Structure 1
Amino acid sequence: MSDQLLSPKILGYWTLDELSEVPDESGIYCVFRAAHDPESGEMEVQELLFVGEHRNARHAVTHHGDHAAWRDFLQPDEALWVGVGLSGHANRERLAAAMINAHKPRFNLHSEYIEYFPFDQTTVHLYGKKDKLQSIFTVERHDPPNHQQTAV
Structure 2
Amino acid sequence: MYWDWIYAPVPEAFVNPFQIGPRDLYTPTFIETRREVCVDPMIDAMPLVQRIEQTFEQKLGISNPMVNWKIFDRSLLDTVVRCIGEDSIRKLLQLMQPDLRQMRSGFPDLFVVKPDDSYEFIEVKGPSDQVRPNQHIWLQALASMELPVSVLKFKQIA
Q: Confirm or deny a common fold (TM above 0.5).
A: no
Max Rg structure: 2
Higher strand share: 1
Higher helix share: 2
**Bigger relative contact order, structure 1 or 2, given CA contacts below 8 A and separation 6+?**
1
